Structure 1
């Protein structure tokens, strides 16, 4: 058994968050004028389904994939070997708030389903140093899709991620951090339903292993609540993909 029920749950999933190869490819296709030998940093990659797909669709690139949990990275490389892509992917076990890279090392920074761990503003501000001038960043972020969320939904998000914003306010934060917005799009609800179908089965399968473990049972109970809430209110919130570019000519806005 792994050291934490969180890792135990997500280690068994094809993705560690909502997403799809179609969404990954749609976001990537919004990038233009990529240099030969494009260097991509995939932060919080999990088992790397999006990493593998990026390697497939970006013929002349090398991807450095990071995660804090080594077994995720091991699974990623196992899959990369199967796909014949292991020569174009390197893994680094590191925390997303303490990355061991040089300034301006990457052309693209990619983060699907992970930036919420730091929070959007902190994440894009810290990661910016690793991006070349004019380099791209593409992230999925929790986003309100309504201005009047149900009280149950509002309370849930105030408890777990009070920084959630609507699309215009999210883009204001991105612009203020010194980026130019390229585009955004909502991930379809189907990506969440697919993710939750795997998560629900995983929670069920391992629940007996954690009986009488109070902390673990709380996490599993939370997962069940999260799944139930989205199925009840799928139109009120979700992920949006934000694609933006480091602006070489503007300083971040510091007065708020």
Structure 2
């Protein structure tokens, strides 16, 4: 029986409906990663797994002539993406689809590019690479940002937090090795700047404050706010020991 004092997945999704960016990143980092993709076919087919409300899908559609399938499990996110894409004139390039990114329903060789920003942890970096690779055409790319350790000896508090939240979190070098082992040739990688975290945590901090006030009588809501505040505070204190890194690989 579910604990009524613990936040549900539905509560988590509802909380993030008020935030455009669901994780660290920026349009500049998206375009930096995009620039690493060479020799793509005309009008490439792209799938953006864990697309949220289009923080990556929309800049991609604005900068290359492509067909994007934006995949998300939470339909309200997709509804917002459809609205935003239409507003900026790229609605014809983006098709939204409510699908579990960990259980993709696409045929093999469906895409030229697999994109995923700040969401691959939901499946696990290594596992996602293996289940997604068959979806790529020969020579296709995977481009994904993933939270990583930036030091071999992280502070105890940071280590304990991430061991509880994401025990398979690895170093940059380990993830590059996973790319190779999953059948990709590593193309390049880069660590996201701290400003990409600020673009996420700035709005998130205010949202946590507002959420606490508007859900003062809900223990589950307060628990959710507590966990997010802990994450924000951890980054402020130990953000030099972990970060997000963009990895780009090409299917062998």
The residue matched to 1:4 in structure 2 has which SS?
Answer: helix
- Structure 2, unpaired ranges of 5+: 1-7
The answer on 1:120 being equivalent to 2:125 is yes
Q: Does the 8 Å contact 1:40/1:107 carry over to 2?
A: yes
2:58 aligns with: 52
**How far apart, in 1, do the equivalents of 2:194 and 2:120 lie?**
20
**May I ask how many residue pairs the two structures share in their alignment?**
245
2:23 aligns with: 17
The residue matched to 2:33 in structure 1 has which SS?
Answer: helix
Q: Does the 8 Å contact 2:26/2:199 carry over to 1?
A: no
Q: Does the 8 Å contact 2:148/2:172 carry over to 1?
A: yes
Please point out which of 199, 205, 208 is paired with 1:200: 205
Give me the CA root mean square deviation. 1.4
CA offset digits 1:67-120 (Å, max 9, x no partner): 001111111111111111111110001111122211110000000011000110
**How far apart, in 1, do the equivalents of 2:103 and 2:239 lie?**
34
2:229 aligns with: 224
**How far apart, in 2, do the equivalents of 1:220 and 1:3 lie?**
14
Q: Does the 8 Å contact 1:13/1:199 carry over to 2?
A: yes
**How far apart, in 1, do the equivalents of 2:173 and 2:133 lie?**
21
**How far apart, in 2, do the equivalents of 1:237 and 1:83 lie?**
34
Instruction: Rate the CA distance shift 1:192–1:211 in 2: closer, same or farther, 3 A.
Output: same
Please point out which of 172, 181, 188 is paired with 1:183: 188
1:97 aligns with: 102
Residue 187 of structure 1 deviates from its aligned partner by 0.2
Q: Does the 8 Å contact 1:9/1:199 carry over to 2?
A: no
Q: Does the 8 Å contact 1:143/1:238 carry over to 2?
A: yes
**How far apart, in 2, do the equivalents of 1:27 and 1:8 lie?**
29
Please point out which of 41, 46, 49 is paired with 2:47: 41
**How far apart, in 2, do the equivalents of 1:179 and 1:101 lie?**
20
1:112-151 → structure 2 map (5 Å cutoff): 112-151=117-156
| TM-score when normalising by structure 2 | 0.94
- Structure 1, unpaired ranges of 5+: 248-256
Residue 4 of structure 1 deviates from its aligned partner by 2.7
| TM-score when normalising by structure 1 | 0.93
1:225-244 → structure 2 map (5 Å cutoff): 225-244=230-249
**How far apart, in 1, do the equivalents of 2:124 and 2:201 lie?**
22
Please point out which of 71, 75, 78 is paired with 1:70: 75
Runs of 4+ in 1 over 4 A off after TM superposition: none
